[in-house]
Chain A
């Protein structure tokens, strides 16, 4: 699977060699391969279309006579464009609040509760913070227990109120508790919700308004398909979130949703989840993600992990 696209592009561009430079006509087949690779990677249909158009504009007129493998040249153009699309530098997290309030949001099962724990653990160990986790999912069976188990695993306190079914009130009480007990970061775990669920979207908008978080994070499963754009846009419309978390990248998905989301909301992808354990969190590197989407393997990350 690795280098698949680059091979295909070499083949498609083989004919180009005699022509000296890339033209409208001879690049058509290649662009089809690029588009196909993007769609197979779950990049949104419209975004893939626009993207290939832009690549075409960049490619036309490029000299291929001097390149031994024209496919590599195209891959480079495509990769650079992808990397740029996903945002240059790894974006950090804003910890300026007193305490810093971080609100998690996202669809059901995307990995919010797990990531809340990972982030608390990361901030505690790497940034010497004293985080508090707050359990605002009052719907999912055993959601509060789940956060408590996670908190116990990493030795981070969890604030919950089982008798209370108002997430806004729990969030506020959690923040008050944090202030009283000297926590400098508060991570608010919320229930999963669909963007079309008006009542639930209003609820999270209300939480957001009441607690004024420094960081609102949108947690998304990296296996998501074409729907990623709709969901990201709907959550962003309501929350104007600050960053995206891509989870479950320890799987073999290409993760084209990353591009789709970035293109549609233009917010940085801040962290990735790479496993179920509390240590499985990493900062996001656009160029590695570009390799992955193109099917060239997340080689660098794998090497670093080993």
Chain B
């Protein structure tokens, strides 16, 4: 909080009554943004916007400046991020609602699935999990532990079996059980591995044999401490699976996750969830203003 207020007061002092923001302030702003992993391109974009606004609306006070900064940065987040959502919802007209979770290794896919299952289950929705990570050591056991914790059924096969076949079975079983939500876990994979990305496309396609428009949501999980590589992740996973939603994990640490601003801006994919711990309740619905504010906190 201390560094937040000192940043804003410094910014205000240098900007108040001027029609141009001086270089020192912009340098400070640049440091805050780049250090939050916002990236050089997006940072320059934000700085341009601030300069424009300051040139237009002269004589700014702290509150206004604070507001402009938040607005301009939040404005880059995909428009579908209203910033006001607080609910874990699924559309009522899609039953079962199928969610496929993808991402590079170790970002928090399986954990996020456990937390989401808990949230949906708590709302009275019937959830079925599909263990389509058949590759990583003990990945199925890990999802099983989460399924037991939440108290929801899981569909699985042996390690090393075809992930597409697990996804298919899960959808069949979900339909038969009259499930509301089906969540498919997939193995972590680096986006530059062509064959593994093809496999993911196949997993997705196979689901359509059971439910035409499945998966209804492809959730890309990004580790909040990832730097600029997250851009390439978003790009390649979108190419392979048409990602519709982002989740950013591990924001309970010191990493800021700023790279999602540029990603959301460029790919128009909304950030929906943030992970803030390893516990079952440590998932929150993304709030863009709180997110932006966190850059200015120590």
Contacts and interface: CB of A to CB of B under 8 A. Distances in A.
A2 interface: no
A145 B225 contact: no
Contacts of A231: 225, 253-254
Nearest to A273: B105
B138 A227 contact: no
Nearest to A191: B278
Contact of B108 (A109, A113, A142, A195): A109
B40 A195 contact: no
Contacts of A227: 37, 225, 253-256
Nearest to A38: B40
A205 B206 CA distance: 48
A174 B274 CA distance: 37
Given A150-B137, A226-B227, A248 B190 contact: yes
Contact of A225 (B104, B142, B145, B226): B226
A223 interface: yes
B86 interface: no
Interface in A98-156: 107-111, 113-114, 139-143, 145-150, 153
B34 A145 contact: no
Contact of B227 (A139, A143, A224): A224
A78 interface: no
Contacts of A148: 138
B254 A109 contact: no
Contacts of A150: 137
Given A45-B34, A196-B254, A221-B223, A142 B141 contact: yes
A150 B259 CA distance: 33
B146 interface: yes
Given A39-B34, A230-B254, A225 B191 contact: no
A276 interface: yes
Contacts of B37: 42, 225-227
A252 interface: yes
Nearest to B40: A39
A160 to B, nearest CB: 12
Interface string A214-235: 0000000101111110110000
A115 B105 CA distance: 13
**Most A C-beta atoms less than 10 A away, residue of B106, B144, B254:** B106
A81 interface: no
A161 interface: no
B33 to A, nearest CB: 9
**Most B C-beta atoms less than 10 A away, residue of A143, A221, A227:** A227
Interface in B179-210: 190-193
B163 interface: no
B7 to A, nearest CB: 15
A257 interface: yes
A262 interface: no
B117 interface: no
A231 B191 CA distance: 25
A41 B36 CA distance: 14
Given A227-B37, A251-B190, 6 more contacts: A114-B137, A195-B253, A224-B226, A253-B229, A276-B105, A276-B136
